[in-house]
Amino acid sequence: MELGEYTVALLILAGTWGASLATAALVVVRRLPTMGGVPRVLAFGMTATAALIAAHGLPGVIGVLSRWTALIAAAAILVAVWRLVPQVPGGPRRDAPAPLAGSSPFSWALAAVAGAALAV
């Protein structure tokens, strides 16, 4: 593979991934305004994965899957989400529970043992 081909493939990859990540960001910001913390990060990751799968799955289903069609599908999904997904009204939840206290020494010891077992 020559440098030019590699560069084009890298740009296509970046475009497909970038469109999928932008799609996920739009969905999470517009549809989940009250969600925060780890659930919001997980929702972003799952939505980005779904957008990436859809960008490759839709052209694959109709039999035209290639690098370019995956990029075009990812861009089309991004435009569709941008145009069709409405903003949900709402702000941060007021009834959210107070943050938990710091971890106990037992929790730290358990985490250390699990990490050591994983390292072995």
Q: How far apart are CA 38 and CA 110, in angstroms?
A: 22
- φ/ψ of 90, rounded to 5, equals 145, 165
Name the pTM for this structure.
0.72
Q: Residue length, the chain?
A: 120
Q: Which amino acid does the sequence have at 113?
A: V
C-alpha distances in angstroms, 49 versus 35, 39, 103, 113? 19, 15, 32, 32
Instruction: List per-residue pLDDT tens for the chain, 120 residues long.
Output: 799 999 999 999 999 999 999 999 999 999 988 888 888 999 999 999 999 999 999 999 999 999 899 999 999 999 999 999 888 887 555 555 666 667 788 888 898 999 999 998
Structure tokens at 25: 């960001």
CA 92 to chain centre: 21
